[in-house]
Amino acid sequence: MKQLYPGIWKITLGTPETVTPTSVRHHSPAEETLQRLPTASCPFPDDAITGHAARRGFQVAIPLGADEQLYGFGLQLLSFNQRGLKKTLRVNSDPRADLGDSHAPVPLYLSTAGYGIFVDTARYATFYAGCAHPVQAQNPALPADTVNSMSPETLYHARGSNGDDRVMVEIPGADGVDIYLFAGPRMSEAVQRYILFSGGGCLPPRWGLGPWYRCHGDFDQQQVLEFAEAFRREQIPCDVIGLEPGWQSHSYSCSYVWSDKFPDPEAMLSKLAAEHYQVNLWTHLFTHPSSPIYSALRDHAGDYEVWGGLVPDLLQPEARQLIAGHFTRAHVAIGVSGYKMDECDNSDFIYTPWSYPELSVFPSGIDGEQMHSLMGVQCMELIDGIYRARNQRAYHEVRSAHALVSPYPFVLYSDLYQHKDFIRGVANSGFSGGRP
């Protein structure tokens, strides 16, 4: 166990993988602010957290007190208190059950005992949050009359604990992992340390917090301008106009080229700017053969396609530079204010799964499982970097996230869920510094 900052410790178990959320991060911890935080006691003794390699992967055991309740794991839409649940943290759109799948799973949980645990992995880690118990030397069964008088729910709950509760974590395909501990003494302070360890928060431009309007996908240039004019004429507040797939000459996969419906995008953007509108473009990163950067991207993409397009390896600087260069010249330099980054998650639960398989291989050496976990974060870095290079504040949307994303000016979005799911998501996102 090594102390990194006041109230933050790192434990290395076995041999961690080379590619993890912390190893590919682009924002360093907010060290100056972290050093100003008060000292705090480590929540665990040096040898309390253990791990070992197994045929299925690497397994970690973390102590769990009888009265502790657990929260977090990123954007969980179907549950709030995670104590007693099993969660496999896979990036996925449209999850059907409370199994851990999410647009933004984060291998981080917080305890009411006042600490946080971050497991630094891009794998689909499974957390048994107090629901897996080793065999005990003495574990008497419940008396028959007690068993017969219980409801099924009470019976299963009563049999769920033997007094040796713990959080078990299984990381497939790994030989080790780094664990980060964030002290409190309150949960809010543990979250604060995690956010600062991520690099701190972001300061969005004021226009990003105003009303947005997304045009229908088949709108042309004239229709966009007519709607924008009508909003101002009717005094309907609107700060951001969003263009959906029809602005591109080819979408699903994407060309990133203005379609014939927008014969003079620079003039349109100039008119909208004069009326104090910002313009946001829908896109994704699956690159169609008609794109001007397709050929150059071929050597920097995975070995499986999506919708006939390349899947860029965003861990390679060459891929990021190709995409950022084109976006800057064709969009940002003429007035585009931001992007809506779609389909950077995954899809397993619809009748036609569309994304690349976990067995994909990328030039950087990672596989599809790791890329699914990291793609949303790398999308954020790509787009944020374009505007940072221009010293220009911006605000964007993204459909996937993972760990350590607090510094990015992005809102996580989806249009798939019920109102109660969104309420749970908003509450849960606060445990990892998210902005749904």
Number of domains in the chain: 2
Task: Find, among 187, 179, 166, 177, the residue nearest to 40 by Cα.
Answer: 187
What pLDDT sits at residue 12? Answer: 98
Domain assignment present for 189: yes
330 and 190 assigned to the same domain: no
Domain assignment present for 435: no
Domain assignment present for 240: yes
What pLDDT sits at residue 369? Answer: 98
Residue pLDDT tens, the chain, 436 long? 999 999 999 999 999 999 999 999 999 999 999 999 999 999 999 899 999 999 999 999 999 999 999 999 999 999 999 999 999 999 998 888 999 999 999 999 999 999 999 999 999 999 999 998 888 766 566 566 666 667 777 666 655 555 678 999 999 999 999 999 999 999 999 999 999 999 999 999 999 999 999 999 999 999 999 999 999 999 999 999 999 999 999 999 999 999 999 999 999 999 999 999 999 999 999 999 999 999 999 999 999 999 999 999 999 999 999 999 999 999 999 999 999 999 999 988 888 899 999 999 999 999 999 999 999 999 999 999 999 999 999 999 999 999 999 999 999 998 777 899 989 988 998 998 876 5
Domain assignment present for 412: no
**What count of Cα atoms within 13 Å lies in the side-chain half-sphere of residue 248?**
22
On whether the CB atoms of residues 297 and 346 are closer than 8 A, the answer is no
β-pair partners for 166: 63
Domain assignment present for 421: no
36 and 79 assigned to the same domain: yes
169 and 229 assigned to the same domain: no
Domain assignment present for 182: yes
356 and 296 assigned to the same domain: yes
Domain boundary among 179, 198, 217: 198
What pLDDT sits at residue 307? Answer: 97
What pLDDT sits at residue 417? Answer: 77
Share of the chain above pLDDT 90, in %: 85
Domain boundary among 168, 198, 228: 198
**Domain residues for 360?**
206-394
Domain assignment present for 300: yes
CATH of the domain at 104: 2.60.40.1760
118 and 228 assigned to the same domain: no
37 and 181 assigned to the same domain: yes
Alpha-carbon gap, residue 363 to 236, rounded angstroms? 49
Domain assignment present for 258: yes
Domain boundary among 156, 182, 198: 198
β-pair partners for 375: none
CATH of the domain at 379: 3.20.20.80
- pTM, to two decimals: 0.94
